[in-house]
Amino acid sequence: MRSVLALALTFGATSPAFAASGPFLSMSNTDFVVTLAFLLFVGILLYAKVPGLLGGQLDARAEGIKKDLEEARALREEAQTILASYERKQQEVQAQADRIVASARDDAAQAAEQAKADLQTSIARRMVAAEEQIKAAQDSAVKEVRDQAITVAVAAADAVISKQMTATEANKLIDAAIADVDAKLH
C-alpha cells in the first residue's frame, strides 16, 4: 500500500505537463489539487478495505477456478477410464467377431466337403443304376435276339420239315409230341 502511495506521489511529481505555475504545494496549482484528490480517493479505498475485498474476491475466484480445474481433472480421468473400458469392450467384440467369422468359414468348408461327398455318393449311385439299366437293356436285347433266332429257326425248320415230310410222318410226330407232353404233365 505504501508502494501505491509512493507511486501516486511520483506520478504526480513527474508528470510531463505542468498545468499550473507557481509553488507545487499551493491550492492554486492544479497538479497539487489533482494529486490530493487522488491521494484522498486512494485513502478512502484503503479505509473501506477495498484492496482486501478485491483480494478476497480474487482469492475466491482463484479457489473457484481451482475447484473447476480439479473437477475437470476428475472428469478427464473418468472419461479416460470409460474410454479404456470401451476400448477393451471393442477389442472383446472384435475378437468375438473374428471367432464368429472363423467359425463360419470352418462351417462353410465342412458344408462344402459334405456336399462334395454327398455329390460323389449320388454320382456313384446313379452310375450303378445306369450300369444296371444298361445290363438290363443288354440282357433284354440278347433275349429278344435269341427269341427272334428261335422263331426264325423254328420257321426254317418247319419249312424244311414240311417240304420233306409226308402227312403220315407228321401225324406220327404230332401223336408222339402229345404223348410226351401228357407224360410230362401227369
179 band by pLDDT with thresholds 50, 70 and 90? confident
Residue 14 in this model has a pLDDT that exceeds 60: no
Helix (H) or strand (E) holding 3: helix 2-13
Residue 156 in this model has a pLDDT that exceeds 60: yes
The span from the CA of 25 to the CA of 43, in Å, is 19
The span from the CA of 178 to the CA of 152, in Å, is 23
Average of pLDDT values for 41-53? Answer: 90
45 burial type by CB count under 10 A (0-12 exposed, 13-18 middle, 19+ buried): middle
Instruction: Count CA atoms within 13 Å of residue 63 on its CB side.
Output: 6
CB 31 within 8 A of CB 20: yes
- Scanning the structure block, which residue is given the C-alpha cell 513527474? 14
- Which phi and psi angles does 41 have, rounded to 5°? -60, -45
Q: Which of 56-60, 77-81, 149-153, 164-168 has the lowest mean pLDDT?
A: 164-168
81 band by pLDDT with thresholds 50, 70 and 90? very high
User: Residues 107-131: pLDDT tens digits?
Assistant: 999 999 999 999 999 999 999 999 9
State the pTM of this model: 0.39
Residue 16 in this model has a pLDDT that exceeds 50: no
Residue 139 in this model has a pLDDT that exceeds 50: yes
User: Percentage of residues in the chain with pLDDT exceeding 90?
Assistant: 51
Average of pLDDT values for 56-80? Answer: 95
Instruction: Count CA atoms within 13 Å of residue 164 on its CB side.
Output: 6
**Mean pLDDT taken over the chain:** 85
- Scanning the structure block, which residue is given the C-alpha cell 456313384? 124
